[in-house]
Amino acid sequence: MLVLMAIEDMLADLGCTSISVAGTLNRALHLIETQPFDLATLDINLNGQRSYPIAEALSAKHVPFAFSTGYGEHGVDQGFGHCAVLNKPYTEYQMLAVLTALVAPNKDCPPALAA
Amino acid letter at 13?
D
Predicted confidence at residue 73, as pLDDT, reads 65
Q: Which residue range is the domain that position 42 belongs to?
A: 2-103
CATH number at residue 95: 3.40.50.2300
Is 64 a member of any domain?
yes
* Predicted TM-score of the model (pTM): 0.79
Tell me if 108 is assigned to some domain: no
Helix (H, G, I), strand (E, B) or coil at 98: helix
Residue 94 belongs to a domain: yes
Non-local (6+) Cβ contacts of 85 within 8 A are: 66, 67, 68, 69, 72, 73, 76
pLDDT at 111 over 60: no
Domain count, the chain: 1
User: pLDDT category, 12, cuts 50, 70, 90?
Assistant: confident
